[in-house]
Chain A
């Protein structure tokens, strides 16, 4: 639900409560005030009548006496400390021939030593006559408020939330690799200013970390490759000197270990680069062509192992993927399919717009297939491989939002990549994604 709508709904709820209470207050206030005014009027009338009695004239036909009752009372009936009181209740109105709400005000006077009780009354609107009017007017107020709050809420929130929306747009297009610090628009709203400051700090830190990570990767690559290079060169020179057979075996073993070291290192460097998103996706490339090229490159290896290659490659399948990544992906998959195959086995490559499926014959893996995506996990612990190829494949798939599944059934290894991915997350989320291989 939109923030604006939420606010509007809450406001409306509060308004409803306030109006209900307000309606009750208004209703009782009017009720009381009307009664009060009448009481004061009748007290004045009673005073006038008392004045008339005091003057001693005959006022029996006078308009003041129309609804007045003057009674002589004994002294002991005069209430102490009260000069006047009033009562309310329903009474018969002979003028209109209906029962109406009647207010009776009674005052006590002492005139020339005699005690008088003077009562006058009138008919006033009752509770029930007032209620519909109050309800009606509050209904109108409510409706008016609803419309106004609804419209103004939308307009005002658009104005107030504008800096927030601008910030959102800026962070969505933020890209660590561009190394440009976040530039957020100024705002006078303190919450948004706080948010902007926080975002700025966060992205600056991320940029810094990214930079140092990148530097570390580069330095590590440089510093480790040089000694490896030196050792390798020395061994090559040693190889050409006059050596015995047993020494030759030692050298060969050293070379193998060195080769592994260098391979592990370059694969890890590559994985780091992938995790750093150093391969920005460019224009879509023809994946069909690349797949064919990759298969061609491995043609002789396939023949050497006498493998039966079946391909079903749909033409003109374009994917927005960096060429280097597509190359890595295909090379790793195809070479895996060849290496872990059996002699006279088969490889089947299916490419359609939905995805790529590579299946091959081979020995059953000794660990669950899902785990083979982890670094340094090998289906066959004795094999020569370093077990990083599939980790690279998975990393590329994660990067491209492809879905990858590895299954082994009835003697076949099946690796299926689905190109149809959920909507890509924002750039920021991609950049901040936690490492996808927590098992390393």
Chain B
């Protein structure tokens, strides 16, 4: 997947770049609107990460221009402005999603994947990993041939793990993904622990492999290479 990161803060852009590069994405950076316009006129991108506040103008203008030219690239706005209005305007102007800073990189990745599934895979709403398959339309999980009875939160959690497989996911990142803006009132990460525990139990009970492991002190990890313990 080719991603264009339009972000004036070099360090932030580099974070995103480094994170996505490990997924095998090809990332390019531009720090100004001018540079971004030039790149967009020359190359095709699957996904554009767009900051709103840029030194030479508002990212919304670029977005309007893109949509006017009928460019099909997915656009994800990343902004420090947490106004409801900004979110609404951004989505109305044709953005596919809106993420408020500060965000977790794993969250950004999950959003990019979600948009990609929605727009580019044309109705194929199945995410598969080995024996596990998730239907993002019906929120059904299957392990092998048996359907798994999961709650919506457990479904979201599993999808988050699979999208960010082989990465350490911090409890904060998981909490933010599951409860969104309201985590500040649910700082108790026991909830995360409970959900992960339940999910692992359900997958194991259905005969699936236990891919999820605890990373000491940090959080959890979905290991793609894990084998059935002897």
A226 with B19: CB separation less than 8 A:
no
Closest CB in chain B relative to A311 CB, distance in Å = 20
- How many positions in chain B have a CB within 8 Å of any CB in the partner chain? 42
A389 with B16: CB separation less than 8 A:
no
B185 with A229: CB separation less than 8 A:
no
B217 with A339: CB separation less than 8 A:
no
A267 to B216, CA, bound (A): 30
A240 with B80: CB separation less than 8 A:
no
A263 with B184: CB separation less than 8 A:
yes
Q: In the complex, identify which listed stretch (B33-41, B62-70, B101-109) lies at the interface while the others stay far away.
A: B101-109
A240 with B186: CB separation less than 8 A:
no
A229 with B194: CB separation less than 8 A:
no
B168-210 interface bits toward A, Cβ cutoff 8 Å, 1 = contact, 0 = none: 1010110000000111111110010010000000000000000
**B12 partner, pick from A230, A249, A389, beta carbons under 8 A:** A230
Identity of the chain B residue whose Cβ is nearest the Cβ of A256 in the assembled complex: B172
Q: In the complex, identify which listed stretch (A42-50, A231-239, A399-407) lies at the interface while the others stay far away.
A: A231-239
Q: Does B119 contact A (CB under 8 A)?
A: no
Find residues 82-105 in chain A having any chain B CB closer than 8 Å to their own CB. none
Q: Which residues of B contact A388 (CB under 8 A)?
A: 184
Interface SS of chain B: mixed
Q: Does A191 contact B (CB under 8 A)?
A: no
Q: Which residues of B contact A324 (CB under 8 A)?
A: 84
B170 with A228: CB separation less than 8 A:
no
Q: Which residues of A contact B9 (CB under 8 A)?
A: 226, 230
B80 with A233: CB separation less than 8 A:
no
A263 to B53, CA, bound (A): 22
Q: Which residues of A contact B194 (CB under 8 A)?
A: 304
Q: Does B1 contact A (CB under 8 A)?
A: no
B130-172 interface bits toward A, Cβ cutoff 8 Å, 1 = contact, 0 = none: 0000000000000000000001010000000000000110101
Q: Which residues of B contact A266 (CB under 8 A)?
A: 82, 181, 184
A332 with B185: CB separation less than 8 A:
yes
Q: Does A218 contact B (CB under 8 A)?
A: yes
B186 with A262: CB separation less than 8 A:
no
A236 with B215: CB separation less than 8 A:
no
A300 to B172, CA, bound (A): 18
10 contacts between A and B (CB under 8 A): A232-B105, A233-B19, A234-B11, A234-B15, A236-B173, A245-B217, A249-B217, A252-B170, A335-B185, A389-B185
Which residues of B are interface residues toward A (Cβ below 8 A)?
A: 9, 11-12, 15-16, 18-19, 22, 53, 80-82, 84, 100-106, 151, 153, 167-168, 170, 172-173, 181-188, 191, 194, 215-219
Which residues of A are interface residues toward B (Cβ below 8 A)?
A: 218, 221-223, 225-226, 228-230, 232-234, 236-237, 239-240, 245, 248-249, 251-252, 255-256, 259, 262-263, 266-267, 269, 300-301, 304, 324, 331-332, 335-336, 338-339, 384-386, 388-389
Apart from A225-B100, A256-B172, A335-B182: 13 A-B pairs, beta carbons within 8 A: A221-B80, A221-B82, A223-B80, A225-B80, A232-B103, A236-B173, A239-B170, A251-B217, A262-B102, A266-B181, A335-B186, A384-B187, A385-B187
